Structure 1
Amino acid sequence: MVSKQDFSSSLAVRGPSSLVSRHTYSHSQSHTSSQSRSQSRSKRYNRSHAGGASYIPQNEFPVFSNSGDVEILVKAGGHENRYLLHRHTLTRCSGFFEASTSLEWSRAGGRGDSSAPEEPPPSTVDLARIGGSDEPTLASGDRLAGGRRRWRYELDSGTDDGDIPMLIQKDPDDTGGGSGGAVSLFGGPVSGSKGNGGAQATNKPPSSAPTHSNRSFFRSVANLSLVPSSGPPSQPLSQADQDLLRNYDNLLRIFYNYPPIMDGVNIADAYVQCKALLTLADQYDSLAVVGPRVDHHLLQFQSRLWRQIAKYPISYLRLGYLSRSKIIFQEALIHVVGQWPAGERSLRGSLPEDVLEMIEDKVDELEENVSRVESRLFRLNLCTPRGERVTPATSYLDWLAVSLFRQWLADNTTPTPPPPHDASADGADGGAKPPPPPSIPPLASLGRAFRTMGDPHPGSYLTHDECKRFMKLTPELYSRDNLRRFEKRLDELKGMAREIVAPLMGSGLELEFGRGVEGLGYLTCTTVRDRDLPW
């Protein structure tokens, strides 16, 4: 019989080892269990669900598979870009989408009152089956299962070569080609559409039957590369089709606050792309959203942009007006006013009347300033050492210097006179035709003369050779001392003239911070204030 003391001593000897082994076994068992769970978890997380019943499409631009309610198809040259976007975003950015998705538009198009109560959709359509399609099913007609309305737009290139491609609204259940089911801005089918409203309503499948367009409405096409949407490989895209797809993609990207994809190296290509994008934004009433993006992109070119505006001011004036860019519009306007009336005909055909009125007001202001300066220049005179005005009687040589300066000023600020009037060309009745009125010198020619006088280098006009030839016209006065005195007095006149034209030498251009305005022959002193902007 084992005593209690012997049993206790045996436990004392075997206890620690048995407890350690038991603890080691339980720890090993728990570690193995957790490792197997982590491995199964990693395998489960890395397993692909593509095409499976539990696959959830991505909900991001350009296809918001879970929350989008406006489908837009842009097709060109056998290629297609598909977008699934949100009505509330499109209506905030575009007046076109705001009008075409409104209740009045829907009533005009014969699509019914969206506020009317609908019949409860069949449960077989609303409830997703396990192992069925991975796309959300649609309730009756053009509403999603969540109660949101669905709109569908397709790009219609028109019937003639001169037609402008335009998004048209179609019946979401219409899967046929052409423009069947398309609704125009004023209600009814679009001209050239196939069939009529009755035929469309007859061929429309019942709301309980899921259609092909319903199934493909939520299909994710995140790859926006220009590849054919279906079928065998087609011909490469033409440049016009590439531009069309890029312009619509940039337009929608800007709506979702994504930067547009445009050339950031070649400013000439960037201008063409920005102009096309602004034209498209004007077409869809979204200039207020697209304009700042275009302004930001072009301003990154800095000095290259200012030089391009100096070369093509009329083109950039229109671009600045469409984009509501104060800097681009102001830069181009200063060049246009300084060269007026050059390009007037082109401006009247491409800009609204209020912009032309503003240009004419700025031209009038500049002409008034030029007239005041010009009158002061013609009144310039020299004085004798006794303070008397120079006349032929007081100082003939000095008077010759004043006469030569005034003659140069008149020749350079007066346009070429018209040809002499031919009296033999009068009418048979013998009535003499009055001679044509003297033409007003353009601002550009006046600007060249004033810039020459404002040049800090006095030898830019009436040079030493010209003075020498002029003095030789009076041989009795020609001598080296008289020529030196003549040039000295002429330099005094040039200095006074430079001070008079100084207010016209100012410039509001950004160009003078880069390359300078010394190469420009016209005046750039026009001031454009915020209150002058036409928007």
Structure 2
Amino acid sequence: MVSYPDSQGAERSLAIRRPPSVQSHSSRATTVRRHRPHRSHFGGTTLQPQNEFPVFTHTGDIEIIIANGRKEQRYLLHKLILTQCSGFFEAGTSDEWANAGETSRPQNQNATALARIPHGGLEEKKRWKYELDWGQGEEELPMLIQKKAQPTLFGGDTIPQPQPPPTRNKPPAPQSGFFRSMANFSSLHVPATQSDPDDDTFRDYDNMFRVFYNYPPTLDPINIANAYVECKSLLQVADMYDALGVIGPRVDHHLLRFQGRLWKQIAKYPPSYLKLGYLARSKAIFSEAMVHVVGQWPLGINQLRGSIAEPVLELIEDKFDELDEIKAKIEVKLFRLTLTTSRGERVTPSNNWLEWMAVSLFRQWLAENTTPPPAPILKSPRTPSSRNGEPPPLPPPPTFNTGRVFRLLGTGGSSYLGHDECKRFLRLSPEHYNRDNLKRFERRIDEIKNKAKDAVKPLMRNFLELDLSQGGLPYLTCTRVEPHEFPWDE
């Protein structure tokens, strides 16, 4: 026994357990202790300390508690693995973090020095503890907070008892004593009679730690809409803890298993999947979404501006400018398309009126379909007034996208300027309308269509994984993200 005065001046005794190297010389004590049966407070069942995920009783040195007043999830993990997977834990367990704010040595220098003295050749390693702080408001995201460990007199660190977690207007937490008695050998899930609004948070943290230990995350393998929500939530948590490099590939692997269904979902919600692909560092998802976003730009600008990294927006605008430049050059070629006579001369009103009319019809159609419609001049008299008596502003005009026009040009055939349209046009000149002239007129229209089809071939390339055999898209899909252009490789 060793005695020392406490803070009130009284003396108290502290029993010192000899280290294993010393205890081995006491055969009687060792024999009694070795053959003593394990006792259990739960019906006589023998409980062995757990030493596997999520509680490594013998080797874990970072304890993580996630509790919300209804239930509690405990992890006892390894610093080596957490620091390799997360920059947050690497910084939080570093010496620089531990010494931050310390300008002088602590007053209890003797106790601190004694805490570093090994006993019997064995030194208890340092342990850390984190608890999830749920924040004060709904807009504040939950975050792990490190609880400062207190050095003991005989080595190692003791961790102060956790403060009661905020109830967040929920029923009070169960008996904490029961949690303490069970937490040493199991990861505790308190059953709930109804779904807890914080279940998603428990799931995200559990998935993150599972991936750290190379276990598959629990993500929906059937419903891709649910899988997207779960993957997005997991990536947001990983981003908070600087762990996207580890979590991203697992999310990418899970979503790519949906194959064709994934490409269809990306076509429906390209801005959302562009953000997810960027967080997951998924080249396949990011590239697929980028083709859709650029093809429809600036349709998705409101969904992306302020919610995605600036390099991604710059890449979108660069790709859109490149596409716009290609379209402008091809438009010039299209307006220069013409027909020639049998002698190789360009058709003109003087040498071949009918064929010149075919060229004029094509150019008129092209001009109408590649030029935005004029803004309306007159306002509707029934426009409702705002509160201050002034008419509310008109909604912005729909985005004008010429991708549909170029797709028609690239398709050719009867997709535009068909038989009926040619017939109506030629009837405007009754003196030239007859069956032979109509057939000749349609042949010349088909000839100029074929020339236009060749001119727009650079815009008809498709870099999507989506199967377009059952129908094309109303915008161009010729955007390509080169291997060196991904914004996270800079």
Band of TM-score, shorter chain: 0.7 to 0.9
Post-superposition CA distance 1:389-418 (Å, at most 9, x none): 000011101011111110110111100012
Q: What residue is the counterpart of 1:78 in the other structure?
A: 70
- Report whether the alignment pairs 1:455 with 2:420: no
How many angstroms apart in 2 are the aligned matches of 1:55 and 1:343?
A: 57
Name structure 1 gaps, 5 residues minimum. Answer: 1-46, 128-144, 181-211, 229-233, 423-438
Matched, 1:162 2:139: yes
Note the residue ranges of structure 2 that are not aligned, 5 or more in a row: 1-36, 150-158, 167-176, 380-395
Determine which of 92, 103, 108 is the counterpart of 2:95. 103
Query: 2:190: which partner in 1?
Result: 227
Q: Percent identity?
A: 54
Q: For 1:152, which of 122, 129, 138 is the aligned residue?
A: 129
TM-superposed CA distance for 1:53, in Å, is 12
Partner of 2:487: 534
CA RMSD for the aligned pairs? 3.3
CA shift at 1:177, angstroms? Answer: 2.6
Q: Which moved more, 1:381-390 or 1:97-106?
A: 97-106
Q: Residue 104 of structure 1: CA displacement? A: 2.3
1:237 to 190, 195, 210: 195
SS in structure 2 of the partner of residue 388 of structure 1:
coil
TM-score, reference length from structure 2: 0.77
Q: For residue 99 of structure 1, report the CA deviation from its aligned partner.
A: 1.2
CA distance in 2, matches of 1:526, 1:448: 15
Larger mean CA deviation between 91-100 and 412-421 belongs to: 412-421
Go from structure 1 to structure 2 and tell me whether the alpha carbon gap of 1:241 and 1:384 turns closer, same or farther (over 3 Å shift): same
Deviation at 1:107? Answer: 2.4
Equivalent residue pairs, number: 411
State whether residues 317 and 329 of structure 1, in contact with CA within 8 Å, keep that contact through their aligned partners in structure 2. yes
Q: Is residue 74–residue 183 contact of structure 2 (8 Å, CA) maintained in 1?
A: no
CA contact (8 A) 1:77 1:241 kept: no
User: What is the Cα deviation at residue 60 of structure 1?
Assistant: 0.9
Task: Supply the distance in 1 between the matched residues of 2:457 and 2:225 (Cα, whole angstroms).
Answer: 35
Residue 31 of structure 2 corresponds to none
2-structure distance, mates of 1:176, 1:93? 26
- Which residue number corresponds to residue 200 of structure 1? none
Residue in structure 2 matching 1:524, options 471, 477, 481: 477
In 2, the alpha carbon distance for the partners of 1:152 and 1:488 equals 81
Deviation string 1:291-315 (CA, Å, 9 cap, x unpaired) is 0000000000011000111111100
CA gap of 1:97–1:122, structure 2 versus 1, over 3 A, is: closer
* 1:338, distance to aligned residue in structure 2 (A): 0.8
The match for 2:161 is: 175
Aligned with 2:430: secondary structure? coil
505 and 441 in structure 1: CA distance in 2 versus 1, 3 angstrom threshold: farther
Q: Which residue of 2 is the match for residue 445 of structure 1? A: 401
Q: Under a length normalisation based on structure 1, what TM-score does the superposition of the two structures give? A: 0.71
Structure 2 counterparts to residues 52-451 of structure 1, below 5 A? 56-76=48-68, 78-108=70-100, 118-119=113-114, 146-171=123-148, 173-178=159-164, 219-222=184-187, 226-228=189-191, 235-238=193-196, 240-420=197-377, 445-451=401-407
Greater fraction of residues in helix: 1
Matched to 1:316, the amino acid is Y
- State the alpha-carbon separation in 1 of the partners of residues 68 and 86 from structure 2: 22
- Show the counterpart of 2:433: 478
Aligned to 1:498: 453
SS at match of 2:194: coil
Contact kept, 8 Å, 1:380 with 1:493, in 2: the verdict is yes
Structure 2 distance, partners of 1:249, 1:440, is 47
Q: What letter matches 2:91 in structure 1?
A: A
Q: Report the equivalent of 2:14.
A: none
**Which AA in structure 1 matches 2:143?**
M
Equivalent pair of 1:65/1:218 in contact (CA under 8 Å): no
Call closer, same or farther: CA 1:529–1:350 in 2, change over 3 Å: same
The residue type equivalent to 2:404 in the other structure is: R
Superposition misfits of 4+ residues, deviation over 4 angstroms: 47-56, 109-114, 120-123, 212-218, 439-442
CA distance in 2, matches of 1:348, 1:517: 33
1:38 aligns to what?
none
2:446 alignment partner AA? D
Equivalent residue of 1:169, what SS? strand
* Larger Rg, first or second structure (1 or 2): 1
